[in-house]
Amino acid sequence: MSLLLGDEFPAFAAALEEEPVNGLRVNTLKISTEDFLRRSPFPLGDRIPWAASAYVLPPSDVSPGNHPYHRAGLYYLQDPSAMSAAMLLDPHPGECVLDLAAAPGGKTTHLATLMQGRGLLVANEIKDKRVGHLAMNVERWGAGNVVVTNETPERLADAFGAFFDRVLVDAPCSGEGMFRKDMGARADWSPGMVAGCAVRQRNILRVAAHLVRPGGYLMYSTCTFAPEEDEGVMVQFLDEHPDFGVEALPQLSGFAPGKPEWLEFTTKDKELCKAVRLFPHRVKGEGHFVCLLKRFGEEEKRAGKRNQLLAMNRMQMELWQAFVRDVLACDFAADRLLVRGERLYFAPEELPDFGHPSTGSGQGLRVVHPGIWLGTFKKGRFEPAHPLALFLKADGTHNVTNFQPDDQRLAAYLRGETFAGEGAPGWTLVCVDGFGLGWGKRVQAMVKNHYPRGWM
């Protein structure tokens, strides 16, 4: 880095000795930025210039990750530099977007917000151990357009083809940009790791290219400074894919252009100046690289909705309608209700046919959640699911138990305890300041706790 950065290296090295920078991004699908600023339980610093409704998070006595507002999905904690990718990809409401390597979900939740919960957002994670964390963050966010899958890029490409308007590849990398905040990244690093990551990144991109429709966009991002994994990967991709070209990204305050001069010269190097690099001595955030590509070719009209929703049988319909009548004060469009096994989902507007591996046919993609899990059909009843609670606000149900953030009964509920509470019997939506947290069931002035153990 000393050789590459030259005169900038002392400032870069000094920045790595400083405390890492954390950021908070408000979930405007649930709450306006102005409303959150009025009720924020901890101080917020400067607004992050490349991410709307996001702020630098100064040190505080309050732990933002443990606050009930976080449990309710009112905000996401994320490195400010990592917020640049979704903003630069610029997805529009109603589009079809793929986050190919999505865990833990920071960029997915940001994309969902920018899409205003409309269209289709497929959040994929290949690793079984990480997809659960992704699903929890998506559920907490409460967006109605997200499908979570657990698949290889190759199987996604076989299933979809050139389907998506925008594809984000936040590639696994050597993590040099995280050295300031992640001691594990420092310990794991080696020159061999950089070379191995570059090979894996090129392989992922080759597959990702098949998922972008003509006229669509492919974004490549990493959290490393290594040119072998950044501009070097892009150079080889462009050499192999003449139907893609580099799109210019805005050079916002503190952003640096791509560094093709850090590589040996090729004919496409100069185009990579249109990419952006984020350095910790230039911005309040960690290290990041972002490059946006557009696929050439005549834009084709995407085929209409291909979803084949499994309809409820008569008994399931009666149970669902009874639950809606007794508990809910809002409607769910009937043409977006989907049954998988015993579970009922609220599917995105543009839901493709993923197949149904749960039927035992062995075909179809591994879909963790094909939308918002509304609940489960059990013998003689419908039991609401936790993601439904996180999707709702107090005005979405007839029976609400609302707490202030500092109420000790709320703390007891989040620990899984039963608590006393007057009101109508049956299911009650437990809220913090009117935002859904989970379910309880009132029986004789006692509310039985249905907060999932895995969320405590």
Spacing of C-alpha 55 from chain mean position? 18
pLDDT exceeds 80 at position 144 = yes
Res 361: pLDDT: 34
Determine the average pLDDT of the residues in 27-37.
97
Q: Which two tokens stand for residue 190?
A: 């080696």
Cis peptide before 59 (omega within 30 of 0): no
- Report whether 89 contacts 2 (CB < 8 A): no
Nearest Cα residue to 198 out of 218, 227, 170: 227
Res 360: pLDDT: 33
**Residue labelled with tokens 């075909």:** 363
Structural domains of the chain, ranges and CATH numbers in brackets? 2-21+79-295 (3.40.50.150), 306-391 (3.10.450), 393-456 (2.30.130.60)
Helices 128-141 and 106-114, packing angle to 10 deg: 40
pLDDT exceeds 90 at position 456 = no
Res 270: pLDDT: 82
Res 358: pLDDT: 44
- Report whether 394 contacts 403 (CB < 8 A): no
Determine the average pLDDT of the residues in 275-292.
97
| Cα–Cα distance, 447 to 66 (Å, whole number) | 23
pLDDT exceeds 90 at position 30 = yes
Res 355: pLDDT: 59
Q: Which residues contact 53 (CB under 8 A, 6 or more apart)?
A: 25, 26, 28, 33, 113
Res 246: pLDDT: 96
Q: What percent of the chain has pLDDT over 70?
A: 95
For the CA atoms of 273, 277, 282, 285, the dihedral, rounded to the nearest 10 degrees, stands at: 160
Res 48: pLDDT: 96
Spacing of C-alpha 256 from chain mean position? 26
pLDDT in tens, 369-411: 999 999 999 999 999 999 999 999 999 999 999 999 999 999 9
Q: What percent of the chain has pLDDT over 90?
A: 82
| Cα–Cα distance, 15 to 29 (Å, whole number) | 34
Determine the average pLDDT of the residues in 44-56.
94
Q: Which residues contact 305 (CB under 8 A, 6 or more apart)?
A: 349, 350, 351, 352
| Cα–Cα distance, 108 to 110 (Å, whole number) | 5
Report field, pTM of the whole predicted structure over 0.85: yes
pLDDT exceeds 60 at position 293 = yes
| Cα–Cα distance, 75 to 59 (Å, whole number) | 17
pLDDT exceeds 90 at position 263 = no
pLDDT in tens, 428-445: 999 999 999 999 999 988
Grade residue 322 by pLDDT with cuts at 50, 70 and 90. very high
Grade residue 424 by pLDDT with cuts at 50, 70 and 90. confident
pLDDT in tens, 349-380: 888 777 554 433 335 889 999 999 999 999 99
Res 308: pLDDT: 52
pLDDT in tens, 212-226: 999 999 999 999 999
Residue 239 in 3-state DSSP? helix
> What is the Cα Rg of the chain in Å?
23
Q: Which residues contact 207 (CB under 8 A, 6 or more apart)?
A: 153, 154, 156, 157
| Cα–Cα distance, 242 to 244 (Å, whole number) | 5
pLDDT exceeds 60 at position 266 = no
- Would residue 423 be called left, alpha or beta, if left means φ above 0 and alpha means ψ between -120 and 50 degrees? left
| Cα–Cα distance, 430 to 235 (Å, whole number) | 52
pLDDT exceeds 60 at position 113 = yes
Active-site residue, selected from the candidate residues 173, 223, 291, 431: 223
pLDDT exceeds 70 at position 265 = no
223 is catalytic: yes
Instruction: Please give the single-letter amino acid code of residue 369.
Output: H
**Residue labelled with tokens 């389907």:** 163
| Cα–Cα distance, 143 to 342 (Å, whole number) | 22
**Residue labelled with tokens 């607004």:** 47
Among 142-151, 243-252, 293-302, 347-356, whose mean pLDDT is lowest?
Answer: 347-356
Res 351: pLDDT: 82
Determine the average pLDDT of the residues in 246-265.
90
- Report whether 115 contacts 121 (CB < 8 A): yes
Phi, psi torsion values for 27, nearest 5 degrees = -85, 90
pLDDT in tens, 153-210: 999 999 999 999 999 999 999 999 999 998 888 899 999 999 999 999 999 999 999 9
pLDDT exceeds 60 at position 40 = yes
Instruction: Please give the single-letter amino acid code of residue 370.
Output: P
- Report whether 8 contacts 262 (CB < 8 A): no
Average pLDDT, whole number, for the chain? 92
Q: Which residues contact 395 (CB under 8 A, 6 or more apart)?
A: 329, 330, 434
Q: Which DSSP state fits 227?
A: T
pLDDT in tens, 66-108: 999 999 999 999 999 999 999 999 999 999 999 999 999 999 9
Q: Which two tokens stand for residue 44?
A: 């917020």
Res 309: pLDDT: 58
For the chain, give the number of residues. 456
